[in-house]
A and B are shown apart, each in its own frame.
Chain A
Amino acid sequence: MVDQHTIEAVLAGDQDAWDVVVKRFGPLVWSVVRAYGLSAADAHDIVQGTWLRLVESLPGIRDPERIASWLCTTARREAALLLRRTRSEQLTAEPVEPADPAGGGYAADPALAVLTADEGRRLWRAVEGMNEPCRSLFRLMATAPDAGVHQLAGRLGMPTGSYGPTRRRCLDRLRALLVPQEAAS
């Protein structure tokens, strides 16, 4: 857990406290960057820069509640920047301006929401309730993060050219399933 005490210790120069922050939010930063479809080397580079930027910015952040959203925003901005410079891939999403994290939950950022195990389970329950091919597509996308489009399409039994549009439709459906629940609660 990362609380005010942890942050104060980090600011005082405690490496162990920093390691706690890295352990807690490392998977978040990695997943956020990987979702842009960067190579492993580029993803590593962007993750490294995100943490270097946190080292320099932490004295101005201080609030443990803000760190996760700050990391997400910074990692996304750098990943999107790199992608714009190097992209030739069709299947990567165009970044949008980061949503206001004050809204909380999925409406703000699903990657932040699933930092709690309950929200992670809720997300996958929504997926399990979807029809095919979306359910299989998401399962495959999550369990084979390094698979290429050709391979994913093959395992789903669809032409390579159909994977991108299908994935987009499935993501739109999942988004529609998640957001109204959030608005109603």
Chain B
Amino acid sequence: MTRRPSSGAFDDAALIAALRLAAGHDPVPDEVAATARAAFRLRLPGAATALPLPVPAASGIRSTGRAHLLRFGADGLTVDLDVDSSGGLIDLAGRICPPPGADARVEVRTPCRAESRTPSPTGQFAVVGLPPGWFSVVCHRPERPPVATSWTRIRPE
């Protein structure tokens, strides 16, 4: 017989969330509900989701000290991303391995806009001036399902 819950049964934040949710005094703001509904417009039926992978130490696509390297993989494709920020906006330089071929198209998506690029013969692409926040890179390949990197949040340092 113990009065104490088992350690870590749930944390303070979970209990605070429950109290507020049950009290009903903190409704979801309209704009938050609107972005939740709008998220559905970004669905990609049949796409494979590329999940984050560990990045080897020296795999930079370009060598800037401030850059942030990310790697995603799914369905035999690896997407390497080099994320940099300037003036509050985000620049992405990426490489798809193996190179997806001349008919492929790379789309860099944020909740409010999408930029399309044809990757170079070596699978490289770049997009500059993205707003900070969530983004996903999609590789559209002819006769194969698209591969989309899991939504990732970037903000300027």
A: residues with CB less than 8 A from B are 10, 13, 15, 18-19, 22-23, 26-32, 34-36, 40, 43-45, 47-49, 51-57, 76, 78-79, 82, 92-97, 99, 106-111, 113-115, 119-121, 123-124, 127, 138, 141-145, 167-168, 171, 174-176, 178-180
CB distance from A67 to the nearest CB of B (A): 13
State which size class the interface on B falls in.
35 or more
CB distance from A145 to the nearest CB of B (A): 4
The stretch among B12-20, B52-60, B92-100, B113-121 that forms the contact with chain A is: B12-20
Please tell me if the beta carbons of B15 and A56 are within 8 angstroms of each other in the complex: no
Main secondary structure of the interface of B (DSSP, over half): mixed
Name B3's closest neighbour in chain A (CB-CB): A176
5 shortest A-B CB distances, which residue pairs? A120-B22, A110-B18, A93-B12, A142-B23, A179-B5
B: residues with CB less than 8 A from A are 2-6, 8-29, 31-33, 35-37, 39-45, 47, 49, 111, 133-134, 136, 148, 150-151, 153
Main secondary structure of the interface of A (DSSP, over half): helix
Name B26's closest neighbour in chain A (CB-CB): A145
A-B contact list, 30 entries, CB within 8 Å: A10-B40, A22-B33, A26-B32, A26-B33, A30-B28, A31-B17, A35-B12, A35-B13, A35-B17, A40-B29, A43-B32, A45-B153, A48-B35, A49-B153, A55-B43, A57-B49, A76-B14, A95-B13, A99-B10, A107-B10, A110-B14, A114-B21, A121-B22, A124-B22, A141-B16, A141-B19, A175-B5, A175-B9, A176-B3, A176-B4
Please tell me if the beta carbons of B20 and A31 are within 8 angstroms of each other in the complex: yes
Please tell me if the beta carbons of B134 and A143 are within 8 angstroms of each other in the complex: no
Please tell me if the beta carbons of B15 and A174 are within 8 angstroms of each other in the complex: yes
User: Given A27-B27, A31-B26, A35-B16 in contact, is the A49-B45 Cβ separation under 8 Å?
Assistant: no
How far is A168 from B12 in the complex, measured between Cα atoms in Å? Answer: 8
How far is A31 from B133 in the complex, measured between Cα atoms in Å? Answer: 21
User: Given A44-B32, A99-B10, A145-B25 in contact, is the A171-B111 Cβ separation under 8 Å?
Assistant: no
